[in-house]
Amino acid sequence: MFRERHGWCPYSERVYLALEVMGIPYDTVYIDNTGHGRRPSFFSGQTPQIRWEDGSTQGESMDLVRQIDRKYKQASDIDLYPTDIQNEVINKSRAFESIFPRRTRPSSRAAFLFRYDGEPLWKNEFEKVLRETNELLGQTSADGPFFCGKRFTAADIAWAPFLERYAAQLPCLHDDLNPRYDDENFPHLVAWYDAMDYFVPVYSCQVKGDASSWRKVLTMAGFGNAGVPLEVSKRMSDAKYEEARALSIDEKERIQSLWEKYCMSRPWMATSPAAEAASVMTRNRSAIMKDIEKRAVISHPLLAECTQDGVDVAMRAMVCLLCQDDLDFRDCELNTRCMSYKEDIVLVATYLDDRMCVPRDMGCLSAAALKRLIPTVQ
């Protein structure tokens, strides 16, 4: 699979989700879609693409999802186009094209958000999209929360990357526009979000981008708004604090249960999302330290003043804390020793949270564990 390297491209995410949910072994080639002459000479066209076993290459996201289902469903427990509802799956997949706004700037980082004059759509235009999506989901809500009732299908794959981004980005553009939690106006849509998060482990543990990453891209020049960043910092900060809050016991148990289901077919993964964050940091420690040395002087001057040994010790302490995420920090001698470096830990953790792109660098649940570490240490 040839996919956009940052994880920004929603069309690449469709194919990524299809392969992962069906458990199909494949190789990934990451392609830089930002230009600057970084594309490899052997690749042409747009992402995503798949090169099949016979050497042929195919593109177009939903065509690829359909072909993945045809070629591999006999070897998988998942059927993305069940025979008895195949037409419904196809029609609801195609409904995306008529419901999502057409006259918007194409952008992998800010899909279906901005008009060609660079301004975001009016609030009522977004509300129309959400209302029609909610009505479409309501057609089968008596049977289950997914687009075709109780079964996860290709229709959910068609919609997931875009609804995922809307959930994070729309609250940054307009007040009182939060489709993820507005069960008064969009009850079927909220139920769909819950079902994707709670009942499709590979989505929430590996494929899904986090809200923080989708908010960050709104501040990046060239994201689809004529290259002019929006004034969204206040709304972004409010959401960031909410995501860093401590979890309740019920939330911890639900996340751990989801993680264990995900890991059943992936024995190489760590035993918890927090431990997986520690594993990723350990494997990539050299690259992280080089990135800090190169970039922190501009964006995080206090961190830039730390010595390399100081950064290394802080990262080791972070790994220890993440590996003991379920313990009370004050009752563990090792954690007490780690906390003596808490100022440097906060600097490094804040830098990584700002720099991280999910799912490029780690999965959504692991990134959340790293984010929660900051107020815990403070």
Per-domain boundaries in the chain = 2-75, 83-242, 267-377
Please list the helix, strand and coil fractions of the chain in percent, rounded to the nearest 5, in that order. 60, 5, 35
pLDDT of residue 206: 95
For residue 49, what are the β-bridge partners?
A: 2, 59
pLDDT of residue 215: 86
CA distance 258 to 138: 26
Under 8 Å CB-to-CB from 363, ≥6 apart: which residues? 205, 206, 208, 273, 276
Selection from 198, 199, 129 nearest residue 167 by Cα: 129
Q: Given the structure tokens 């427990």, which residue do they identify?
A: 77
Q: Dihedrals φ, ψ of 174, to 5°?
A: -140, 145
- CATH superfamily, domain 267-377, is Phycocyanins (1.10.490.20)
Q: Dihedrals φ, ψ of 300, to 5°?
A: -140, 75
Q: Is the dihedral of CA 209, 210, 215, 216 positive or negative?
A: negative
Q: Given the structure tokens 């279906």, which residue do they identify?
A: 112
CATH for 2-75 is: 3.40.30.10
CA distance 334 to 126: 50
Under 8 Å CB-to-CB from 152, ≥6 apart: which residues? 21, 78, 146, 195, 199, 200
Count of CA atoms in the C-beta half-sphere (13 A) of 265: 12
pLDDT of residue 219: 77
CA distance 46 to 300: 35
For residue 171, what are the β-bridge partners?
A: none
CATH topology of domain 83-242: Glutathione S-transferase Yfyf (Class Pi); Chain A, domain 2 (1.20.1050)
Taking the model in full, what pTM does it have?
0.92
Selection from 60, 51, 45 nearest residue 26 by Cα: 51
CA 27 to the chain's CA centroid: 20
Q: Is the dihedral of CA 296, 301, 302, 306 positive or negative?
A: positive
CA R_g for the chain: 21
Ordered mean pLDDT values, 10 residues apiece, the chain (378 residues)? 91 96 93 72 88 94 97 89 96 96 83 86 96 97 95 98 95 91 97 97 95 84 61 63 81 94 93 95 95 91 89 91 68 70 90 92 93 85
Under 8 Å CB-to-CB from 109, ≥6 apart: which residues? 8, 217, 218, 220, 223, 224
Q: Is the dihedral of CA 222, 224, 228, 232 positive or negative?
A: negative
